[in-house]
């Protein structure tokens, strides 16, 4: 896992850069990291990240992370994740419902989804961010607590024709009266559970590459993504 640790610490995705990531443990083949939020004085909550290597092409991994409607099948505690109407080709919005841990209620949010690619490394980041988003896009639902301070994102890094590094980073203020230590405990579990499920699905062929051509947001995103085999040596 030392290679994964080096990649995660030295990479420069579009997330906050300070303070540095600290490796915590390896779970189900996923290297886990944590760091305190930049506004540590305001919140004791932490940001968590997981890193895993999968035996699959970048395109095969994108067939999972660009099709949010499949998330309830493999993203930990995700009850629902659906794409809302696209406003333009650079971003979209999604509505997420996350299972609450007994005795707490389910959480939901509306988030802006963006897809960016590093022109040199070809790394692709799919980033969902609820901060500053008009939550009235989806009316509040009875029995669910609306979150307004949440972000999460997958970064897909091609390393060969059939091997890919996948990172998952996330932070969530669950709102309500959940103690911070419980929030951090639940949040620290998400990267390992989600990435191990992604690894199992993609390595066993449980994905639909054709969805990249038929699902609207995935189709739009793929038009601006350069796959490794499309580059000139």
Q: pLDDT, tens digit, for every residue of 124-140? A: 999 999 999 999 999 99
pLDDT at 231: 47
Sign of CA dihedral 216, 152, 2, 54: negative
The DSSP output letter for 158 is: E
The Cα–Cα gap between 85 and 94 comes to 9
Q: Which residues contact 6 (CB under 8 A, 6 or more apart)?
A: none
pLDDT at 72: 96
What is the value of pTM for the model shown? 0.86
pLDDT, one tens digit per residue, over 69-92 is 999 999 999 999 999 976 565 679
User: Hey, what long-range contacts does 192-195 have (CB within 8 A, 24 or more apart)?
Assistant: 192/27, 192/28, 192/30, 192/32, 192/50, 193/28, 193/76, 193/77, 194/50, 194/74, 194/75, 194/76, 194/168, 195/28, 195/30, 195/50, 195/51, 195/52, 195/166, 195/168
Instruction: Determine how β-strand 30-36 pairs with β-strand 22-27.
Output: antiparallel
Q: Which residues of the chain have pLDDT under 50?
A: 6, 9-10, 12-17, 40, 231-233
Residue 56 token pair:
């699959």
pLDDT at 143: 94
3-state secondary structure of 197: helix
pLDDT at 31: 96
pLDDT at 142: 95
pLDDT at 103: 80
């Amino acid at each position: 896992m030392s290679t994964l640790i080096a990649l995660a610490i030295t990479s420069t995705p579009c997330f906050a850069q300070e303070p540095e990531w600290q490796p915590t443990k390896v779970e189900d083949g996923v290297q886990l990291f944590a760091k305190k939020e930049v506004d540590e004085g305001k919140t004791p909550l932490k940001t968590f990240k997981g890193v895993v290597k999968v035996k699959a092409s970048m395109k095969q991994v994108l067939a999972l992370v660009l099709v949010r409607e499949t998330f309830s099948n493999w993203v930990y505690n995700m009850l629902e994740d659906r794409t809302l109407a696209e406003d333009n080709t650079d971003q979209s919005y999604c509505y997420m419902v996350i299972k609450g841990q007994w005795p707490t209620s389910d959480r939901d949010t509306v988030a802006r989804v963006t897809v960016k690619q590093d022109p040199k490394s070809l790394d692709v980041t799919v980033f969902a961010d609820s901060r500053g988003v008009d939550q009235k896009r989806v009316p509040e639902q009875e029995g669910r607590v609306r979150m307004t301070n949440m972000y999460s994102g997958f970064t897909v890094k091609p390393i060969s024709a059939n091997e890919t590094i996948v990172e998952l980073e996330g932070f969530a203020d669950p709102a309500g009266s959940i103690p911070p230590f419980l929030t951090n405990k639940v949040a620290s579990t998400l990267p390992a559970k989600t990435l191990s499920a992604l690894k199992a699905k993609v390595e066993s062929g449980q994905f639909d590459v054709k969805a990249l051509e038929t699902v609207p947001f995935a189709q739009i995103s793929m038009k601006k993504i350069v796959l490794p085999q499309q580059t000139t040596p």
